[in-house]
Chains A and B, each alone.
Chain A
Amino acid sequence: MIADLIETIAKILFVFGINMGFFSPILGWVERKQSAVMQDRVGANRADIMGYKAIGLFHPIADAIKVMVKEDFIPDGANKIFHTLAPFISLTCSIVTFAVVPFGGQYEIFGHKVNLVIANLDVGILFVFAFASLAPYGAVLAGWSSNNNWSFLGGMRASAQMLSYEVAMGFTIIGVIMVFGSLRLTDIGMMQEDFFRWGIFLQPVGFILFLTCAIAENKRIPFDMPEAESELVAGYFTEYSGMKFVMFWMGEFLEIVTISAIVTTLFFGAWHLPFITDADLVNFFSFAGQTGSNFLAILVNVATFLMKVIFFIWLQMTIRWTLPRFRYDQVMKLGWKMILPISLINIFITAVIILV
């Protein structure tokens, strides 16, 4: 009982720490440096502490302190409660999803079975979708409560776009569920122990469609219609300043991490190294004793998972700085006329292959 409690608290601290403490500040820096690299620039590198510049790593700190001491503004005629609530919804929805994402397999430490996922739900993937579909509320409430035309248009666009892509995303996932036969993300991860059973080999079309839908859900370029700067000033968060505005950003960055984590879990073998099974790994470290070998295996598996996640974060950053923004009708056309039919065909073909 006590061991379970300690285990859960440790896992929550780890996941929360790695998201809020590592990924959300560092991604601001990564995005800047990625844009700098792709545009042949140097990028932010002047902020110094005691003369140390650390290749611009202090710039996120400067940004964080600045937004905290910036004036917190609520416009006249805004709905104060919803205006304050919206950024919290946005941020919460993207971080809660991590509760069901496994970042390692099953291990035995001091005779206690440890499962490296906070909540091992049997409807894990549905939980992810439930919170992904709550996310538009943040954008819509922000747009509506600001009492501003641009915000309102941005909120409307956000709701239309995210609802359309939610449907397509649901259909792309059905193929994966059919192949693995489980909604539990831990099970899906376990079944990808064999390199040739990774989701990407079983569902190549599903992977591309899912990644497209996920980026569209995240409202980033090329799908940043809700905040299109050249059309809608800054979209649904036009009237936000200081920390509340940055909370939308943190939500966006954490959503990148969520997408990467789920893509890794569903399609890229979760925490597994290619050609190495969990048992092999524990046996390899057998010199360290029973608990020690399991502990080393945890380190290797979590590191593998994080490396895969970081790779997909990089991929999304590259897409963001490569492609221009779609026109609104093109976004809708892509969602309803391309991705939805292809995902339906994908389901059909998968079903036929499984049956045969």
Chain B
Amino acid sequence: MGIIDKIQTITRQAIHEPKEEDPSKLLGDSIILTQLESVVDWARKYSLFLYPFATACCAMEFMSLGGPKYDLDRFGAALPRFTPRQADLLLVVGTISHKQAPILVKIYNQMTEPKWVMAFGICAVSGGFYDNYATVQGIDTLIPVDVYIPGCPPRPEMVIDGLIKLQEKIAKEKWTDWPKGAAPVVAKS
């Protein structure tokens, strides 16, 4: 075993197998604690209600995603709720201009915990080719983002892949990850 392999093993152990003093391990293999967490994560991952914050042309691709060919409902994530109180997943679909930014932050703050954000398309991810004074250079300058989906617009397969990645992320969440709280920036409207 080479020295690099050894370092890798140690790092992996340090990340994936916390020591006994770790508070999450204090109860030993407490079945109830871990089970409830995983059940809740399982439920959350298959029951994502969407809030489509659709501002630009990517919305066309979002429509295709809900349609018969790609069918987002298979993953349990097809019920759009148009009030942020009932939504779990904020889909930022399209370009966010500086005029639009306070609205996005407000919507994010209005969402009830737990909430996730998906940046749909390159404009939401990084501003894309709108490298100018009018466009927000990526929505992660405003609100925390869980999944980035590049593309102009992204193909529906990429979005489905992103959704599955998000589901994998949700499956690993702990109680301590919540609540996420308000956005780090203050919206002046």
Contact = CB atoms under 8 A, between A and B. Distances in A.
Interface in B18-45: 39-40, 42-45
Contacts of A71: 112-114, 179
Interface of B: 39-40, 42-47, 67-68, 71, 73-76, 78, 81-83, 85-86, 88, 112-114, 179
Interface in A30-81: 32, 35-36, 39-47, 58-59, 61-67, 69-73
A336 B40 CA distance: 48
Interface residues on A, range: 35 or more
A61 B43 contact: yes
Contacts of A240: 85-86
B67, B83, B112: which has the most chain A beta carbons within 10 Å? B83
A239 interface: yes
A241 B45 CA distance: 18
9 contacts: A32-B78, A41-B74, A46-B46, A69-B40, A233-B82, A233-B83, A234-B83, A234-B86, A241-B112
Given A32-B78, A234-B83, 17 more contacts: A41-B71, A43-B74, A44-B75, A44-B78, A45-B74, A46-B74, A61-B43, A66-B44, A69-B43, A70-B88, A71-B179, A229-B82, A233-B83, A237-B83, A238-B83, A239-B85, A245-B86
B106 to A, nearest CB: 13
Q: Is the interface of A mostly helix, strand, loop or mixed?
A: loop
Interface string A74-112: 000000000000000000000000000000000000000
Contacts of B78: 32, 44
A241 B47 contact: no
Nearest to B167: A46
Contacts of B112: 70-73, 241-242
A44 B83 contact: no
Contacts of B71: 36, 41-43
